[in-house]
Homo-oligomer: A and B are copies of this chain.
């Protein structure tokens, strides 16, 4: 019998883990338009104060409210699987484990934070949430969370994904949310972009601008913006994944993890699985921790660590992060969730510190890896998740070459049942590998060279 580990109700983590408490050097704070650190009050039109407190907190453990747990419990704790059939196909001495986040009703890890954000907003008296979505995983998750908590929900979905994935809109509609293609004509930010480029595929940066604008201009004062990745509180909410994984590995007597892998667009599923292990690494454990991105949008592997906006219309504060520039529009690859110009500040700082070793993957390798995974472990992965699977297979092959019984853990962050048009194009031979050309990388970085520079804080320990 293969290995699959559940946790009982009693064993569900009751607190989230905040890496900000343990990073060797402090984070560079977000900056306002005046170049000075933003205050919680400045963020208040966008987020409820209880979430702003989490965003800026450096407290190590933060309680998960019972009301949040009650909903998470619909699918959590998620099972930890050992991928015995994949190991066999690869003939590797490595042991491959994965957290199966695909079994949540919206099909990904995203509801871990969607439920938490919706719950804290509701506690704060908020009636409506606005948000962006790329591939649609996040928009679906927030629609789901808002349905269960009785909030109104408005989703701006990046045009290219909106057109590729019509079922995503229907999922959100079933949960009662209103989803429109971004850029839209509903906001000034959207109208400005459309005036310049009516045929734009859109970007997460643009969709974020639209969602924030609609939240802050609602005169009732009961609308806020909700974000699916990148910011500290989002990563915090996802750490339940890694905390569960640690308990599950302990439960089966697996004492050591050698490699932890997750795909990273804004960084939240990767951070959710890996941050509890980053804590171990800070305290001396030897672990390779690998966030994976596409060569077509190489934020972590090629962009600089700069102060940049999280959105195209510069509505967010300046964040210290790896960025290709707030108005960079990534090529229309199928892994819509990895089409983001920036990277979570906590993940970026982890890279600067040498705690994380990012890796880029080509599109065809990610699809061929996903097909092997589907035919061995049975789950059809989201195109984003496929990037993690490709890195896992690389590591398992390396373990074979080195004859080492490595323990590899990765985040099966979501299924790809709504993303099959990408698989179709792969099977038809219509997809090609595409690395963002050097001149485009340079041009993108040139665009943001006049923004403030973060202190490049590196403790030098890794």
Contact = CB atoms under 8 A, between A and B. Distances in A.
| Copies of chain A in the complex | 2
20 contacts: A2-B70, A4-B73, A6-B6, A74-B81, A103-B103, A105-B380, A106-B378, A147-B378, A148-B376, A167-B167, A167-B420, A167-B421, A171-B417, A173-B424, A174-B371, A174-B420, A174-B427, A175-B374, A175-B380, A417-B418
Closest 5 CB pairs of A and B: A105-B378, A170-B420, A147-B375, A167-B420, A103-B103
Nearest to A103: B103
Contacts of A6: 6, 8
Contact of A144 (B9, B173, B378, B417): B378
Given A1-B73, A9-B1, A73-B1, A375 B417 contact: no
A43 B447 CA distance: 72
Contacts of A420: 167, 170-171, 174
A194 interface: no
B378 A74 contact: yes
A224 B282 CA distance: 57
A2 B6 CA distance: 17
A379 interface: yes
Given A174-B371, A174-B423, 18 more contacts: A1-B69, A2-B70, A4-B73, A6-B6, A74-B81, A105-B378, A106-B378, A144-B378, A147-B378, A148-B375, A148-B376, A167-B418, A167-B420, A170-B427, A171-B420, A173-B423, A174-B420, A174-B427
A170 B424 contact: yes
Contact of A380 (B8, B73, B171, B423): B171
Contacts of A376: 148
Interface in A1-45: 1-2, 4, 6, 8-9
A310 interface: no
Nearest to A380: B174
Contact of A105 (B9, B106, B379): B379
A107 B417 contact: yes
A107 B380 CA distance: 11
A107 B378 CA distance: 11
